[in-house]
Amino acid sequence: MDFSWFKVGPEFLQPLLLTLKVAGLATAAATVIGVAMAYVLTRWRFALRDFVDAVCTLPLVMPPTVLGYYLLVIIGRRGFLGKWLQEVFGITLMFTWQGAVIAATVVAFPLVFKSARAALEGVGKQYEDAARTLGLGEAAVFLRVSLPLAFRGVVAGTMLAFARALGEFGATLMVAGNLPGRTQTLSLAVYSAVQAGDDALANSLVLIISCVCVFILVTTSRLLQPKF
C-alpha cells in the first residue's frame, strides 16, 4: 500500500485542534445568541421585527470577504470597537485566534437563528400558556417547555453552524490572518498547502474536513426527520 499521498504530522494536528477550538467556541456563542434572538423575534411583536430578522440572516448571504471587511472596520485597531477595546482593556483582536472565533461566530449565527426560529414557530402557544397558568415564570416556560419542544430543530441548526464555522475562510483570513500555529485553521491550512505545493498535506486535511462535514450532514438530516 502506498500512503505517500497522506501525511499526519504537527502541521496537520495543529490546524485540526485549532479549528475544533475555534469552531466549538463560535458554535457555542452563535447558539446562545441565535436561540435568544429567535425567541425574541417569535414571541414579541415590535416595529422593526422584519428588519432585525433580515440583519440576523444577512451573514448567510453576504460574501465572507464583505463580512471580513466589516469586521476589519469594526474590530480593527482603528475600528470604533477595536480602538475602545485597545484603550480600555488593552485587548487586540486582530491576528488572534479570538478574532477567528468572532469571524466564525458571525458566519455561523444565521444558521442557528433560522433553524431555532422555525422550530420555535412550530411550538404551539397553547403549551406555553398552559405552563403559565400552572404558575411557571417566563424563563422557566422557555427552558422547560418551548426549548425542549423545539430541541431537534435547534440541535440541527447548531450542527450546521458548526460545519459552517469549521470551513470559514474569507472573513477569518482578513481578520485573523493566516499564521501557522496561531490562527491557521483547517481551511487556511488547505489553502497554504495547495499554494506551497504540499499535496500530501492538502489531501489529508481535505479528507478530514470532508468526513466531518458528511457526518454532520447525515446526522442533521436524521435529526430533522419527523418521528411517527
Partner 1 sequence: MKRVLNSLILSCACMVLVLAPLSAHAEELIVSAAASLTDAFTDIEPGFEKANPGVDVVMNFAASGALYRQIEQGAPADVFASANPKWMQKAVDNGFVDKANVVTFAQNALVLAVPADNPAGVKSLDDLKGDAVKSIGIGTPETVPAGQYAKSALTAQKLYTTLEPKMIFGESVRQVLDYLSRGEVDCGFVYKTDAVKAGDAVAIVAEIPLEKPVSYPIAVLKNSTNSKMAQAFVDYVQSEEGMTLLEARGFKRP
User: Distance between CA atoms of 169 and 100, rounded to whole angstroms?
Assistant: 10
State the nearest-atom distance from the C-beta of 91 to partner 1, in Å. Answer: 13
Shortest separation between residue 173's beta carbon and partner 1, angstroms: 7
CB of 144 to partner 1, least distance (A): 47
Nearer to partner 1, 53 or 198 (CB): 198
For 145, other C-beta atoms within 10 Å of its C-beta total 19
**Burial environment of residue 124 by CB neighbours within 10 A (0 to 12, 13 to 18, 19 or more):** exposed
**Beta-carbon contacts of residue 131 (< 8 Å; ≥ 6 apart):** 140, 141, 144, 145
C-alpha 49/C-alpha 43 separation (Å) is: 11
Cβ nearer to partner 1, comparing 65 with 210: 65
Dihedrals phi, psi of 53, to nearest 5 degrees:
-60, -45
Q: How far is the CB of 212 from partner 1 (least distance, A)?
A: 25
Instruction: Name the residue nearer to partner 1 (CB basis): 60 or 85.
Output: 85
**CB closer to partner 1, 65 vs 221:** 65
Nearer to partner 1 by Cβ, of 45 and 78: the residue is: 78
Smaller CB separation from partner 1, 57 or 92? 92
Contact of 21 with 100, CB cutoff 8 Å: no
Binding site for partner 1 (CB under 8 A): 72, 76-78, 92, 94-95, 173, 177-180, 192, 194-197
Using a 10 angstrom Cβ sphere, with 0-12 exposed, 13-18 middle and 19 or more buried, the burial of residue 21 is: middle
Contact (CB, 8 A) for 79 and 99 = no
